[in-house]
Structure 1
C-alpha cells in the first residue's frame, strides 16, 4: 500500500492551485466545498473558476507562475498547468519548502493523490487504486452509489446530534453499538428523510429494554471468501470476539468486525481453552475455521447447531 488513506481537514487552510483550466476547475470546486482558502495562480480563468472568483470563494492572482508566489503559508500545492516541464518545476520548488504537492495526472510527482468520492453529506466514501486504474475506480464508485441509500446525509446528521445523549444514557460502548445496530436495522430508518420520524424511532428504541441473547457463531472460511453467505458475513461483523484458526486467509479476517477482540488458535486444545472462557464472557462469539478444522472439532459445538451454508450458529 503506497498511499495511506487519510481525510484531511482543510477548513480555513491556505491551498494554492496553479493553473486555471478545466483540471484546475475540478480540483478547485472540491477544495472550495471543503472550505479551504483557495488561491488560484494563473493568467486566465475558466468560466467555472471565474464564477467562483466573482462569488468571493477564491482568491485570484492573475500572473504566470514564479517561485516567489510559493510560500510556506500553503498547506497544499496543486500543479494543474498543461506544461509538464512547468509542473515538475513547481513540484521541485514545493519540495524545497516542504509543502505537499500534487501534479495532476503525473503520479511520480505526487505527495498525495485524491480518490474517487461517494458523497452523502457527512458520509464520504473514498476509493482509490493508487493511480493504477482510474476507470476501474470510477466503475466501483458507480456501483457503490447505486446501492447506497439516498437518506444517508440526513441519517448521519441525526446520529451525530444524538452522540452526547446516547453516551449519557448508555455509558457502555458495546451497549451503544448494539443500540445503533437495532436502530439502523429498522426498515423505516433506511427509507425516511424526515428527522421527526427518526426521532420517534430513536425514542422507541431507547425505551425498549435490551434483550441479552448470547450467540456462538461458527463460520467455515477457506481460500475463496466470496463463497461465504451473507448471513455468515453479518454474524462476523456483529461479533464481540473472534476466535480464528491460523490458516484463515487474511481476506476472511477482514470481514470480521474491526474492533472485535481477536484470538488465534493453532490446535484443538487451544480452541477448547478459548471456547471455555469465551462462552461465559462474550455476548456474540464468532469462531472462524477452515473446512478441515470444522470437521475435526465437531464435538466442541453445542448440540442443536443449525447450518446456514458455510455458517453454523447456536443461541444459548
Structure 2
C-alpha cells in the first residue's frame, strides 16, 4: 500500500491555493465542499473563481506568489502551469512543515486526492496511487451504477438513531445485529422517505431476535475470485474468522475488518476454538481446503452450511 488512506477535517481550516486556472477550480470546489477557508493567490483567475471571490466565498489575493504569503495554512496546493513556481511553493511549504500537493507531480506531493463518490454523509474514495486514472474512473462508474441513491437518507437516519437505539438494545452486539437486519432488509433500497424508514425501524425493533451464534464453512482454493457471492455476504457478517496456515491471505482479508481472526493448527485446535465461539454466541466463518476429506473435520462440521468454491 503506497498511500495511507485518511479523511481530513478541513472545516473552517485555512488552505492556500497557488494558481487560478481550470485545475485550481476543480480543487477549490472540492475544498469548499469540505468547508475549508480558501485563499487563492494568482494575478488572474478563472471567471468561476472570480464570482466566488465577489460573493466572499473565498479570498482572492490578486498578486504573484511570494514566499512570505505562506503563513498559518494547514494545507497548500500548487496548481499553476509553471513547474518552477510549483516547486518553489513546495519547497517553501516543506520548510514550514505544511502539507503540500503539486498537482500532477507526484514526487512533490505529501498527499494525493482519490476519486470520490459522495452520497451525503457517505463518501467512498478510490485510488490507484496515481498509477492509472482511467482505471479508477472506470471503477468509480461501476460503483456509481450499483450504489443506491438513498444512501444519504439512510446515513442521516442511522445517525439520528445513535442515541435512542442504546435505550432499546443494551449491548453493542445486539445493536450491530439489529442494524445488520435493518440495512439488509429487501425494502431498504426502495425507500426514499424518512417516515417509511421509521416504520421499518420500529417493525424490526419490535421483532428483536435472540443473539445466537452460527457457523459458516467455506472452501478455499488459489483464486479468491471463485468465491460465490453468498459467501461474501456471510463473511462480512462473521465476528470470528478461523483459518489454517495454507489459506491464502486474500480470502481472510475479504472478511469483516473488525472480526477476530485466528489461525488453527489442527482439527483438535479448531474444535476448541469453535466450542469457545459457541459459548460466546459468535458468528463464525471457518475456511477449509477444497475437497477436505478428514473424518474428524466432517464430524466437526456436522450439518453446518458448507459453501464450496466454484470450479
> What TM-score does the superposition give when structure 2 sets the normalisation length?
0.95
Cα drift, residue 55 of structure 1? 2.1
- List, as ranges, runs of 4+ consecutive aligned residues in structure 1 with deviation greater than 4 Å: none
| Residues 24-75 of structure 1, C-alpha deviations (whole Å, 9 max, x = no match) | 000000000111000000011102211221222100000011101111x100
Cα drift, residue 273 of structure 1? 2.1
What secondary structure, in the 3-state scheme, does the structure 2 residue paired with 1:217 have? strand
Tell me which residue corresponds to 2:239. 240
After TM superposition, the structure 1 stretch with the greater mean CA deviation from structure 2, 47-56 or 117-126, is 47-56
What secondary structure, in the 3-state scheme, does the structure 2 residue paired with 1:146 have? helix
2:7 aligned with 1:23, yes or no?
no
Cα drift, residue 258 of structure 1? 1.3
Cα drift, residue 126 of structure 1? 0.3
What secondary structure, in the 3-state scheme, does the structure 1 residue paired with 2:6 have? coil
8 A contact 1:272–1:300 mirrored in 2: no
Distance across 2 between alignment mates of 1:175 and 1:301: 28
RMSD of Structure 2 on Structure 1 (CA)? 1.6
8 A contact 1:221–1:288 mirrored in 2: yes
Cα drift, residue 306 of structure 1? 4.4
Tell me which residue corresponds to 1:86. 85
Tell me which residue corresponds to 1:34. 34
| Residues 208-267 of structure 1, C-alpha deviations (whole Å, 9 max, x = no match) | 121444321101122211101011111111112111111211111111111112211122
Cα drift, residue 192 of structure 1? 1.3
What secondary structure, in the 3-state scheme, does the structure 2 residue paired with 1:5 have? coil
After TM superposition, the structure 1 stretch with the greater mean CA deviation from structure 2, 100-109 or 238-247, is 238-247
Q: Please, which runs of 5 or more residues in structure 2 have no aligned partner?
A: none
Tell me which residue corresponds to 1:48. 48
Distance across 2 between alignment mates of 1:111 and 1:308: 44
Distance across 2 between alignment mates of 1:263 and 1:91: 45
What secondary structure, in the 3-state scheme, does the structure 1 residue paired with 2:163 have? helix
8 A contact 2:218–2:306 mirrored in 1: no
Distance across 2 between alignment mates of 1:302 and 1:64: 72
Tell me which residue corresponds to 1:62. 62
* Correspondence list, 1:275-290, <5 A: 275-290=274-289
What secondary structure, in the 3-state scheme, does the structure 1 residue paired with 2:57 have? coil
8 A contact 1:241–1:285 mirrored in 2: yes
Seen in structure 2, the aligned counterparts of structure 1 residues 263 and 54 have a Cα distance that, compared at 3 Å, is: same
What secondary structure, in the 3-state scheme, does the structure 2 residue paired with 1:12 have? coil
Tell me which residue corresponds to 2:297. 298
Seen in structure 2, the aligned counterparts of structure 1 residues 64 and 21 have a Cα distance that, compared at 3 Å, is: same
Cα drift, residue 310 of structure 1? 3.0
Q: Please, which runs of 5 or more residues in structure 1 have no aligned partner?
A: 312-316
Distance across 2 between alignment mates of 1:282 and 1:87: 58
8 A contact 1:241–1:282 mirrored in 2: no
> What TM-score does the superposition give when structure 1 sets the normalisation length?
0.93
Distance across 2 between alignment mates of 1:303 and 1:270: 17
After TM superposition, the structure 1 stretch with the greater mean CA deviation from structure 2, 10-19 or 267-276, is 267-276
Tell me which residue corresponds to 2:166. 167
8 A contact 2:191–2:197 mirrored in 1: yes
8 A contact 1:232–1:310 mirrored in 2: no
Distance across 2 between alignment mates of 1:162 and 1:306: 34
2:249 aligned with 1:250, yes or no?
yes
Seen in structure 2, the aligned counterparts of structure 1 residues 306 and 274 have a Cα distance that, compared at 3 Å, is: closer
Distance across 1 between alignment mates of 2:139 and 2:8: 23
Distance across 2 between alignment mates of 1:102 and 1:18: 10
Seen in structure 2, the aligned counterparts of structure 1 residues 175 and 153 have a Cα distance that, compared at 3 Å, is: same
Tell me which residue corresponds to 1:314. none
